[in-house]
A and B are shown apart, each in its own frame.
Chain A
Amino acid sequence: MCASAKYNTRGPALIPRMKTKHRIYYITLFSIVLLGLIATGMFQFWPHSIESSSDWTVEKRSVHDVPVVKLPPDSPIPERGDLSCRMHTCFDVYRCGFNPKNKIKVYIYSLKKYVDEYGMLVSNTISREYNELLTAISDSDFYTDDVNRACLFVPSIDVLNQNTLRIKETAQALAQLSRWDRGTNHLLFNMLPGGPPDYNTALDVPRDRALLAGGGFSTWTYRQGYDVSIPVYSPLSAEVELPERGPGSGEKMTKEGWSEFDHSPRRYFILSSQMALHPEYRSDLEALQVENRESVLILDKCTNLSEGVPSVRKRCHKNQVFDYPQVLQEATFCIVLRGARLGQAVLSDVLQAGCVPIVVADSYVLPFSEVLDWKRASVVIPEEKMPEMYSILQSIPQRQIEEMQRQARWFWEAYFRSMKAIALATLQIINDRIYPYAAMSYEEWNDPPSVKWSSVSNPLFLPLIPPQSQGFTAIVLTYDRVESLFRVITEVSKVPSLSKLLVVWNNQNKNPPEDSLWPKIRVPLKVVKTTENKLSNRFFPYDEIETEAVLAIDDDIIMLTSDELQFGYEVWREFPDRLVGYPGRLHLWDHEMNKWKYESEWTNEVSMVLTGAAFYHKYFNYLYTYKMPGDIKNWVDAHMNCEDIAMNFLVANVTGKAVIKVTPRKKFKCPECTAIDGLSLDQTHMVERSECINKFASVFGTMPLKVVEHRADPVLYKDDFPEKLKSFPNIGSL
Chain B
Amino acid sequence: MQTRKKYIFITFFASWLLLFFFGGDQIRRLAFLSRKKATVLKNWPRWTDRSLLKSFADPEELQSDGGHHKQSAKHSRCRMETCFDFSRCEKHGFKVFVYPMEREDPVSESYLKIITSIEESRYYTSNPEEACLFILNIDTLDRDHLSIQYVHNINDKIQGFPLWNDGRNHLIFNLYSGTWPNYTEDLGFDIGQAILAKASFYVENFRPGFDISIPLFSKEHPQKGGERGWLYQNSVPPKKKYMLAFKGKRYLTGIGSDTRNELLHNSTFCIIPRGRRLGSFRFLEALQAACIPVLLSNGWELPFSEVIDWSKSAIVGDERLLLQVTQCHAAYEMAPCSILAFQQQTQFLWEAYFSSVEKIVQTTLEIIKDRLFLRESRPKFLWNTLPGGLLALPEYSTHLGDFPFYHLQHGSSPSGKFTAFIRAVSPVVSLSQPILKLIQAVSRSQHCAQILVLWSCEKPPPPRGRWPQTAVPLTVIHGRRKVSDRFFPYSAIGTDAVLSLDEHTSLSTSEVDFAFVVWRSFPDRIVGFPMRSHFWDSSQSQWGYTSKWTNEFSMVLTAAAFHHRYYHSLFTNYLPASLRSLIDQLSNCEDILMNFLVSAVTKLPPIKVTQKKQHQEAAPQQRQDCLNRFAAWFGYMPLVHSQLRLDPVLFKDQVSVLRKKYRHLEKP
Contact string against A for B residues 301-317, beta-carbon threshold 8 Å, 1 for contact and 0 otherwise:
00000000101100111
Contacting residues, chain B, for A459 (C-beta < 8 A): 337, 340-341
Whole-angstrom CA separation of A661 from B650 in the bound complex: 11
Q: Would you call B651 and A274 a contact (CB within 8 A)?
A: no
- Report the interface size for chain B: residues with CB under 8 A from the other chain: 139
| Bound-complex Cα distance A222 to B127 (A) | 38
Whole-angstrom distance between the Cβ of A672 and the nearest chain B Cβ: 15
For B521, the chain A residues whose CB sits under 8 A away are: 657-658, 706, 708, 710
Q: Are A338 and B28 in contact, with the CB atoms below 8 A?
A: no
A80 at the interface (CB under 8 A from B): no
Residue B348 CB within 8 A of the other chain: yes
CB atoms of A219 and B344 under 8 A apart:
no
Q: Is B529 in contact with chain A by the CB < 8 A criterion?
A: no
Residue of A nearest to B1 (CB): A17
> B376 to chain A: closest CB distance in Å?
9
Contact of B399 among A222, A310, A399 (CB under 8 A): A399
Within 8 A of A (CB), among B622-668: 640, 642-655, 659-662
C-alpha gap A713/B644 in the complex (Å):
6
Give the residues in chain A near B329, CB-CB below 8 Å: 98
CA distance in complex: A53, B359 (Å)? 63
B182 → chain A closest CB, angstroms: 17
Whole-angstrom distance between the Cβ of B320 and the nearest chain A Cβ = 6
Interface-lining segment among A600-608, A634-642, A689-697: A600-608
Write out the residue numbers on chain A whose beta carbons fall within 8 Å of the beta carbon of B149: none
CB of A394, distance to nearest CB on chain B (Å): 10
Secondary structure type dominating chain A contacts = loop
Tell me if B550 is interfacial: C-beta within 8 Å of chain A.
Answer: yes
Picked from B12, B48, B377, the residue with its CB within 8 Å of the CB of A375 is B377
Of all chain A residues, the one with the shortest Cβ separation from B412 is A454
Does B609 reach chain A (CB closer than 8 Å)? yes
Beta-carbon contacts of B77-92 to A below 8 Å, as 1s and 0s?
A: 1010100001000000
B residues less than 8 Å from A661 (CB atoms)? 649
B337 touches A622 (CB 8 A): yes
Count of A interface residues, CB-CB < 8 Å: 172
Contacts of B64 in A (CB 8 A): 274-276, 301, 339
Asked whether A63 lies within 8 Å of B56 as measured between CB atoms, the reply is no
Task: Report whether A399 and B318 are in contact in the complex, using a CB–CB cutoff of 8 Å.
Answer: no
Distance, CA A450 to CA B327, complexed state (A)? 34
A37 to B48, CA, bound (A): 42
Is B321 in the interface zone, CB < 8 Å from A?
Answer: yes
Q: Please determine whether B203 and A108 come into contact, CB atoms closer than 8 angstroms.
A: no
Note all chain A residues with C-beta closer than 8 A to B402.
397, 399
| Complexed CA–CA distance, A297 and B374 (Å) | 24
Q: Which B608-628 residues have C-beta < 8 A from chain A?
A: 608-609
Shortest distance between the CB of A368 and any CB in chain B (Å): 13
In the complex, residue of chain A having the shortest beta-carbon distance to the beta carbon of B319: A88
Q: A220 and B408 in contact (CB under 8 A), knowing A86-B204, A339-B66, A715-B551? A: no
Distance between Cα atoms of A619 and B261 in the complex (Å): 27
| Residues A177-207 near B (CB distance < 8 A) | 191-192, 196-199
Stretch at the interface among B137-145, B184-192, B231-239, B460-468: B231-239
Residues of B contacting A703 in the complex (Cβ-Cβ under 8 angstroms): none
User: Which residues from A are CB-within-8-Å of B340?
Assistant: 459-460, 619
Chain A residue numbers with a CB within 8 Å of B337 are 459, 619, 622-623, 627
Q: Does A457 sit within 8 A of B, measured CB to CB?
A: yes
Residue in A135, A376, A464, A604 whose CB lies within 8 Å of B649: A604
CA distance A234 to B603 in the complex (A): 49
Chain B 360-392 near chain A by CB (<8 Å), digits 1 or 0: 000000000000001101111100101000000
Once the chains bind, are A161 and B408 in contact (CB under 8 Å)? no
With CB as the reference atom, state the residue of chain A lying closest to B644: A712
Verify if A727 is at the interface (C-beta below 8 Å from B).
Answer: yes
The docked-state distance in angstroms from the alpha carbon of A236 to that of B59 is 9
Contact with B along A110-127 (1 / 0, CB 8 A): 010000000000001011
- The verdict on B326 contacting chain A, using a C-beta distance below 8 Å, is yes
- Cβ–Cβ < 8 Å partners of B62 in chain A: 192, 232, 234-235, 345
Do residues B309 and A442 form an inter-chain contact, with CB atoms below 8 A?
Answer: yes
A400 adjacent to B409 (CB under 8 Å): no
Complex Cα distance A201/B290, Å? Answer: 43
Residues of A near B50 (CB, < 8 A) are 63, 128, 131
Chain B 36-53 against A: per-residue CB contact (8 Å), 1 yes, 0 no?
Answer: 100001111111111101
A161 to B57: give the CA distance in the assembly, Å: 7
Give 1 or 0 for each of A572-596: 1 = CB within 8 Å of chain B CB: 0010100000001000000000000
Q: Are B86 and A382 in contact (CB under 8 A)?
A: yes
Please name all residues of chain B whose beta carbon is closer than 8 Å to the beta carbon of A436 when the two chains form the complex: 311, 315-317
- Chain B residues with CB under 8 Å of A129's CB are 55-56
Other A-B pairs beyond A128-B54, A715-B608, 19, CB < 8 Å: A44-B24, A56-B42, A86-B203, A191-B56, A235-B59, A311-B60, A338-B69, A375-B398, A436-B317, A437-B334, A457-B409, A461-B344, A463-B604, A467-B232, A604-B660, A657-B408, A709-B661, A714-B644, A725-B551
Q: Pull 21 A–B residue pairs with CB atoms less than 8 Å apart, ordered by A.
A: A56-B42, A61-B48, A63-B53, A127-B56, A130-B56, A278-B70, A281-B69, A373-B380, A375-B378, A457-B409, A462-B234, A546-B239, A604-B649, A604-B660, A606-B649, A617-B234, A622-B336, A708-B521, A712-B645, A715-B643, A717-B647
Nearest 3 A-B pairs (CB), nearest first? Answer: A454-B411, A276-B66, A138-B44
